[in-house]
Amino acid sequence: MKGKATNPATRKLITLDFEIIRNIIVNLLNNVAKLPFSWRACQSESRGFPPPAAPDRREICGRHEHRRGGVRGPGPRPSRRRPPGGPAARPGPARRRNTPEEGEETSRRDIPPDAPRGPHPSRRAVRFLRRRPPAPPAPQPRVAADRRIYAVGDVHGRSDLLLRLLETILADHTARTRAEAQAGSPARRLQLVLLGDYVDRGDHAREVLDMLATLRADTRDDGLVLLRGNHEAALLSFLGNPAGGAAWLTFGGRQTLGSYGITLGLHPQEADLATAAEALHAALGPHLGLLRETTLMHRSGDVIFAHAGIAPDLPLSAQPEQALLWGRSRFLEMPPPEGLVVVHGHYDAPEPVTGPGRICIDTGAYYTGRLTALRLDAEQALLHADAGGAR
């Protein structure tokens, strides 16, 4: 306490604690970091743990005297700027920092030549103790106990890849069902969850929607879940307001129009947009109802399925449509609520991407030629359909 002298017993205890802590840090660095600096600890026994101060060397610059390697002397710092109208500065000798002059005595003359260089052990100790622990492994996604879910990434008009991937999924489900029967385990029901973006960019959006309509007609109960992506939302917006939704044409809408036999000039006027919207509305037929029935989010067990992820700082019951369809940068920076795993697409990459509490399976099918599915049951696995063949 302030104003009271520390008694000898307390002072001895404090000194002992410091020595123990210092020895622990030095041992950690010797054993873990594998840095051979025990000689420094031996040197510090007689003069304290910090290294000796740099030698006091002075230099004269103009009218003032300054210290090098220590406290600066009186007077302003020397300026390297050339005074107006003055002669150009002459290059001086190369500057050496904290090194003794020729013949000067130094307190470190007994340092062996193979001594380690770099920060002082105390600084290395601080860096070691401040190291971040490794990130915990991502939790194992757990879906409903009676389901085997196959989540499919962004198709984007690649009907050829979707057909191959569905064949691979059916073969995988059949093999696992047979293995479960042999092991006496209860059978799981198949559920397909497509993460949206079925249209645009690729040239066969109409064929993709034909396949999905057939699956919808042949699937019982909730065996097929079709999520809405931002491209389906943009298509529906174009149908409702052609002039206001014309931005859809700039990120793949023209390919979808072309798959339905509708052409549009490079610089369409408002009347041209209205005509194209009417033609698309008529050509979609039952596909329009399929698109309008798509949902924004699906949950099974601890797994959330959404096209572009979720807003991690909001409850699931209050998720904004903008975040589910178009994404938020905060979703990529923050993990979802504890215990949940989000399976999503939208952020395309050549390979699936796994982050804290999320799995992205959009592998850019329209330009990489690879469509990806994620199987979730008692385990998890990735299945791919490549342009050269499924695997």
Q: What is the pLDDT of residue 330?
A: 83
Q: What is the pLDDT of residue 335?
A: 86
Q: What is the pLDDT of residue 317?
A: 92
Whole-angstrom distance, CA of residue 309 vs CA of residue 356: 13
Residue 192 confidence (pLDDT) above 50: yes
Residue 272 confidence (pLDDT) above 50: yes
Whole-angstrom distance, CA of residue 192 vs CA of residue 223: 6
More confident site: 54 or 227:
227
Fold designation for 147-390: Purple Acid Phosphatase; chain A, domain 2 (3.60.21)
Residue 213: how many other CB atoms lie within 10 Å: 15
Question: pLDDT tens digits for 302-361?
Answer: 999 999 999 999 999 999 999 999 998 888 888 888 889 999 999 999 999 998 899 999
Residue 199 confidence (pLDDT) above 60: yes
Q: What is the pLDDT of residue 75?
A: 56
Q: 233: which 2 tokens?
A: 């939302």
Whole-angstrom distance, CA of residue 358 vs CA of residue 354: 6
Residue 116 confidence (pLDDT) above 70: no
Question: pLDDT tens digits for 273-288?
Answer: 999 999 999 999 999 9
Q: How far is CA 131 from CA 124, 125, 128, 134, 334, in A?
A: 11, 10, 5, 9, 21
At residue 97's C-alpha, the angle toward residues 95 and 101, to 5°, is 80
pLDDT band at 44 (very low <50, low <70, confident <90, very high): very low
Q: DSSP secondary structure string, 114-171? A: TPPPSS-HHHHHHHHHTPPPPPPPPPPP---TTEEEEEE---TT-HHHHHHHHHHHHH
Helix, strand, coil % over all residues of the chain, rounded to 5 = 35, 15, 45
Whole-angstrom distance, CA of residue 69 vs CA of residue 81: 23
Whole-angstrom distance, CA of residue 26 vs CA of residue 31: 9
pLDDT band at 35 (very low <50, low <70, confident <90, very high): very low
Give the residue among 217, 154, 141, 188 at the shortest CA–CA distance from 380: 141
